[in-house]
Structure 1
Amino acid sequence: MEYTLDLNWPDFIERYWQKRPVVLKRGFKNFIDPISPDELAGLAMENEVDSRLVSHQDGKWQVSHGPFQSYDHLSENNWSLLVQAVNHWHEQSAGLMRPFRALPDWRIDDLMISFSVPGGGVGPHLDQYDVFIIQGVGRRRWRVGEKVPMKQHCPHPDLLQVEPFEGIIDEELEPGDILYIPPGFPHEGYSLENSMNYSVGFRAPSGRELISGFADYVLQRELGSHRYTDPDVPSRQQPADILPEELDKLRGIMLELVNQPEHFNAWFGEFITQSRHELDVAPPEPPYQPDEIYDAIKQGDSLTRLGGLRVLRVADEVYVNGEKIDSPHRPAVEALASHITVNAGILGDALEDPSFLAMLAALVNSGYWYFED
């Protein structure tokens, strides 16, 4: 189904985005869960899917990671099943991400879905990224505290919780309600009855990740071979001293690499389009020939993007899952980034170019786009 979010985006961004948490009552009117608890439990039994069970019994927290063989050992209260990147594996759930494309695609990460029994939750904690938590079937109580320095502790090696906090939000969420939480605000939710929650998370790369990723790019391409030189080496009082101007020159060698747009843009396109979770890639067998792609699209078929596939434009180039798309047909290539589904009208005259068809066939045969049955 198609989800419509009842939200004034300019007003929301001005008042709340990365500023304050807020409950959006009936953000989705007449909300229908895209997935059932049984389907979610089935996904958590798959090897490729990231999942965990979090329980709190007799004052002790327990965490176990999937894939799970059975759920027969679980009690009737105080546990949650959490499954990451469900939008990669479940087409209907992927549709829940689309209303959030009012925000930049590159910032959107994945859809985590949880099923909780009464009392189920993961304890008080805070995240370093923005999240929209959509209430599905059932009711769940959420508390959100003020953004202040907080002590963190680990009741379990896989859980990082915070100390108790005063709530600035304390509400029961019902189907279709949305809780938005910016980074750094402590929060805690627990189910009042069997319930489903859908968390749309956002990427927030750290300086450490950026530097590490760019360093890998530099090494792979054997860039940065320019060495330090000092033909007019300055004198100093002590031979052990490294002078400020020498440090400036060394820093300049490093900054020179970052400040080359052609390299920085190419690296970032590759870096930011790589998924942090497995994709449900299923290359067609037998592979499509370019003329088969042409005939199908011309006859009215559409190509749909694989759930969770990251397709982004950096400057004038489009990147897919860590690779640049090479084609002179800019409008058609940019359409692959802008649209979830493409057809003959969107791709236009590019379909008449054998080189574009060959490139498109390669994407389809990689499992990145597919013809819907």
Structure 2
Amino acid sequence: MAVQADLELNLDKEQFLARFWQQKPLLIKQAVSHFKPPISRHELAGLALEDEVESRIIEHRDGEWLLQHGPFRTADYQRGNPWTLLVQAVDHHILEVAELRKLVDFIPQWRVDDVMVSYATDGGSVGPHYDNYDVFLLQGEGQRLWKTGQLCDETTPLLPHEDLRILSLFECETEYLLETGDILYLPPGVAHWGIAHGECTTFSIGFRAPRVNDMLSRFVDALLAGLEPDLFYRDARLESVTRAGEIRPRDLERVQAQVEAALDQARDSDWFGELVTEPRYVQTADDDDLAQARILLQTEGESVALSPEAKLAWQQNAEGIVVFANGESRRFSSTQMDMVIALCADWVLDEAALGAALGNEESRALLDYLLETGCIYVQ
């Protein structure tokens, strides 16, 4: 899958990372010159009719915010009040939408979540809210007014609602009117409120940020799996007790020292790569399809391409590299690094590169692993 020749972000990337990333909003006028939205509002509405696509409609009616989950019927689009259709992970279904992720390829790929696409009627909105992740809001068709406000966190008051996190108070600080090709970057926690000016579409390139408690849980699980089970607390040269029943500061110092010593034994960081490449949607490989893909790879395949929904990353260590594919991990020698980088950078191995890979036993094993995990497909 080739990236469109004119798909380039008009941005000083180093300056952006130093001054704005996870710090403050930034409006990038004509961020994508001559941008042609890769999916129309009509195609988006059609996609939301399908069972396997996650979609929602948010309608503002009589002062209330109403939520309906898809899949939808055509009749669901006939509404008398302002409404917004949001379709999650459109990049998993439309290759041209997946290419939009290339706009932010200067940020680690494992941080990218998906591209959500929304359509709104005139006045349509999802209300004032905040997110816990970074997002680039790329304007497609039409215009949308974005208002940004206060910095929020888990203590910020919300309106009572079972499913939506609407702010009970929005303090507008800045307004931006986005037109086709404009981008508004928003860091986590910044209150924002988008309102459609006429019919419009927006492409939201969102980033995943693993929760610290999830990272800690995975770290501890990995640590416990490799820790000697018969290792016990020790207190040689124990001081005599002077107050019955007391847990003394010196006891706690020993505990802390022994726990820290155990933590220092954790050298395997595979848990992190597995966590950040876990797919949002469960992907089960069909045995027949996998067998057919293996045959095609060895016989008629001219190239392999990265699946648009694939989560692929890698990490170098002293022994070679660890390749993380859709939540799985496997070790390979450093000779496979170039092929993994090529797939991550170009999303394709052409006929020459594929032919060279098939001539190497370990490369064939790597390709088979990527087929099994659903990260690549044969063309």
Q: What is the TM-score when the length of structure 2 is the normalising length? A: 0.86
- Tell me what 1:309 maps to: 310
Contact 2:128 2:192 in 1 (8 A): yes
Partner of 1:53: 57
**Partner SS, residue 127 of structure 1:** coil
In structure 2, C-alpha distance between the alignment counterparts of 1:196 and 1:293, rounded to whole Å: 39
The 1-side partners of 2:41 and 2:220 are apart by 43
The residue type paired with residue 310 of structure 1 is K
Bigger Cα displacement from structure 2, 316-325 vs 282-291: 282-291
Percentage of matched positions with identical amino acids: 34
**Structure 1: how far apart are the matches of 2:46 and 2:259?**
49
Secondary structure of the equivalent of 1:72?
helix
**1:256-276, CA deviations, whole angstroms, 9 ceiling, x for partnerless residues?**
45444532x111121111122
Task: Show structure 2 runs of 5+ residues with no match.
Answer: none
Deviates more, 1:246-255 or 1:311-320: 246-255
Note the C-alpha offset of 1:285: 3.3
Aligned to 1:361: 368
1:54-133 equivalent positions in 2, closer than 5 A: 54-72=58-76, 74-133=78-137
Whether the 8 Å CA contact 1:282–1:367 is kept in 2: the answer is: no
Aligned-residue RMSD, C-alpha: 2.8
The answer for the alignment partner of 1:137 in structure 2 is 141
- The structural deviation recorded for 1:170 is 0.4
Cα distance change, pair 19–366 in 1 and its aligned pair in 2 (3 A): closer
Q: Which amino acid aligns with 2:336?
A: R
8 Å contact kept, 1:88–1:279: no
Which residue of structure 1 lines up, in the alignment, with residue 177 of structure 2? 172
Which residue does 1:293 correspond to in 2? 297
Q: State which drifts further: 362-371 or 175-184.
A: 362-371
Deviation, structure 1 residue 73: 6.2
Q: Which residue in 2 is equivalent to 1:197?
A: 202
* Matched length: 367
Q: Give the Cα–Cα distance (whole angstroms) in 2 for the partners of residues 119 and 251 of structure 1.
A: 57
Question: What is the rounded CA distance, in whole Å, between the counterparts of 2:100 and 2:66 in structure 1?
Answer: 30
- Which residue of structure 2 lines up, in the alignment, with residue 330 of structure 1? 336
The amino acid across from 1:82 in the alignment is L
Give structure 1 stretches of 5+ with no counterpart: none
SS of 1:6 mapped into structure 2: coil
Q: Which shifted more, 125-134 or 286-295? A: 286-295
Give the one of 219, 228, 232 matched to 2:233.
228
How far apart are 1:153 and its partner, in Å?
1.2
Shift of 1:103: 0.7
